[in-house]
Structure 1
Amino acid sequence: MSKDILIVTTENIPGQQYEVIGEVFGLTTQSKNVFKNIGASLKNVVGGEIKAYTKMLDKSREIAIDRLRSEAEKVGGDAVVMMRFDSGSIGSDMQSVAAYGTAVKFVDNQN
C-alpha cells in the first residue's frame, strides 16, 4: 500500500517545516461513449446540467489526484503543496484534467 501523501492547496502546512523537492503532476484524459455523447447533445438543446459529463469530470479529478499522489511518492515526498487543477477539451468529446503542485519533504527541526 502506498504511503499517505498530504495534498493541500495552501503554500504552508501548519506545524510542518519542509524542503521543496519539485513540481509533480497527475494527468488523465477521459471520454464518454457515443450514447452518452448523444444524450449530452440533446441536453444541450434544452439546457441544464449534463450529469454524465459532471460525473466524468469528477472521476477525472479523482484519477488526477491519485496520480499526483503517486508521483509525489516516487520522488520521496511527504506532501504536495499549492495543488491546483487545470482542464481542457480535446476535440469535441474528450476532457483532459491535470492536478499539479509542489512535492515537499518534511524536515525535523529538533536539534
Structure 2
Amino acid sequence: MSKLEDYGGGQVPDADVLVVTTNDVPGHRVERIIGEVFGLTVRSRHIGSQIGAGLKSLVGGELKGLTKTLVESRNQAMERLVEQARSRGANAILMMRFDVSEAADVGTEICAYGTAAVIAPVA
C-alpha cells in the first residue's frame, strides 16, 4: 500500500509562505512585489529505475519509480523556491509554475518559479 505523499505534493496548511498559481489571493492585497524567485534541482535517473521503466513500457502502465522520483524532485524544487522567497522577506509566491526539461541527456531539470510578494489581509 502506498502513502499519499509518494505520489503527490503541495504545501502544508500552516505554511509561512503561501504559494498560489493565481495572480492574486482572495481576501488579501499585494503590498509589495519583491520579484521573480525560483528553486531548481537536477536529478539523474538511476539504472534500476530506467531498466524497470523500459520493461514496463513494453506492457504499459504507470512507471511508479519514475513517478516517485518526479514527485520528490518537484517537492525539492518547491522547497528551494519557498526558501528563496522567505530569504527575501516574502510571505507569498504568486503565479507559481513548474518547468521540466531534459538536462544534457543525464537527468531531468525541474524548476519551480513565481513572483515573490508581501500580501496582507484586506481589512
Q: Which residue of 2 is the match for residue 10 of structure 1?
A: 22
Shift of 1:14: 1.2
Distance 1:101 1:41 in 2: 34
CA distance 1:91–1:49, change in 2 (3 Å): farther
TM-score of the pair, normalised by structure 2: 0.79
TM-score of the pair, normalised by structure 1: 0.86
Distance 1:6 1:52 in 2: 29
Q: Matched residue pairs, number? A: 108
Q: Which runs of structure 1 show a deviation greater than 6 angstroms over 4 or more consecutive aligned residues?
A: none
**Identity within the alignment, %:** 44
Checking the alignment, whether the CA contact within 8 Å between 2:28 and 2:122 is kept in structure 1 is no
1:31-42 equivalences under 5 Å are 31-42=44-55
- Pick aligned residue for 2:60 from 47, 53, 60: 47
Q: Which residue of 1 is the match for residue 71 of structure 2?
A: 58
Shift of 1:16: 1.3
RMSD, matched Cα = 1.9
What are structure 1's unaligned runs of at least 5 residues? none
What are structure 2's unaligned runs of at least 5 residues? 1-14
